[in-house]
Amino acid sequence: MSTLAQNKADLERASTAQKVADMLRERVLLGELEPGLRLSEEAIGGALGVSRNTLREAFRLLTRDRILVHEHSRGVFVRRPTADDVRDLYAARRVIECGALRLWNDVSDAQREAVRAPVRQAVARAEKKDFSKTGSANIQFHRGIVGLAGSARLSDESDRLFAELMLAFRVAHEVEAFHQTYLPWNRKIVELLNNGTVEQAVQQLDEYFDAAEQDLASRLVAD
């Protein structure tokens, strides 16, 4: 049955616009296309070998994901989050993740494990002085938390929030170093959860958000 599900993904080949959008998303998140950069329809379309119409469809997709911003008759630009955006982003995360974390005792073991595992891996890597994937590990931890809610829609929206946050890190020139700072926090949260003190874990998560928001926002005031 699992093979059928796999094949399904192969059969549902994405449209050209979807594939272009995926590629552009990756480039933006990898930092190859800097925030604020204007994406010319002609230049990008020519380079990728797709028509303007198809490319515009891809742009719409990414605009909805908040990766790009669309200005009428001016074109699309890689989003450049401001300090206000960061505040909004963290206000949303606080509600979503703290709310999800409070469900800790009502969810499946698999869901709980999706929260613990990323931290365990990050700790293991940190002990080996391997800081290569600390960023994605931190994201995985928070994805796990959102997953406790058991809503695909909420998880999808959170992924969009995380992507936008990545752009903010990029603007703040703090892509990797940033996440690394907060591993101790994540450990503490998992520890509190394992102790059965869920409310304390929620409070700890809330403090993490305070610190992270302030840290990031302070780096975004200057241009």
Partner DNA sequence: ATTGTGGGATTGTTGAACGATTCTACGATA
Partner DNA sequence: TATCGTAGAATCGTTCAACAATCCCACAAT
Closest C-alpha to 67, from 34, 19, 113: 34
22 binds its own copies (CB under 8 A): no
* Number of other CB atoms surrounding residue 86 within 10 Å: 24
22 binds DNA (CB under 7 A): no
Of 2, 5, 6, 49, the one binding DNA by CB under 7 A = 49
Dist. CA 156–CA 185, nearest whole Å: 24
123: tokens are: 């700790």
8 binds its own copies (CB under 8 A): no
* Number of other CB atoms surrounding residue 198 within 10 Å: 15
Of 153, 173, 221, 222, the one binding its own copies by CB under 8 A = 153
Partner touching 2 among DNA, its own copies, none, CB below 5 to 8 Å by kind: none
Partner touching 42 among its own copies, DNA, none, CB below 5 to 8 Å by kind: DNA
Q: Work out the angle between the directed axes of helices 109-127 and 134-147 (0-180°, nearest 10).
A: 170
Contacts of 154 (CB under 8 A, 6+ apart): 96, 100, 146
50 binds DNA (CB under 7 A): yes
Contacts of 85 (CB under 8 A, 6+ apart): 164, 168
120: tokens are: 């365990």
149 binds its own copies (CB under 8 A): yes
190 binds DNA (CB under 7 A): no
Neighbouring C-alpha atoms within 13 Å toward the C-beta of 96: 23
40 binds DNA (CB under 7 A): yes
CB of 112 to DNA, least distance (A): 39
Residues 84-123 contacting its own copies, CB under 8 A: 88-89, 91-92, 94-96, 98-100, 103
Give the binding site for its own copies (CB under 8 A).
12-13, 15, 17, 53, 56-57, 60-61, 64, 66, 72, 88-89, 91-92, 94-96, 98-100, 103, 149-154, 157, 161
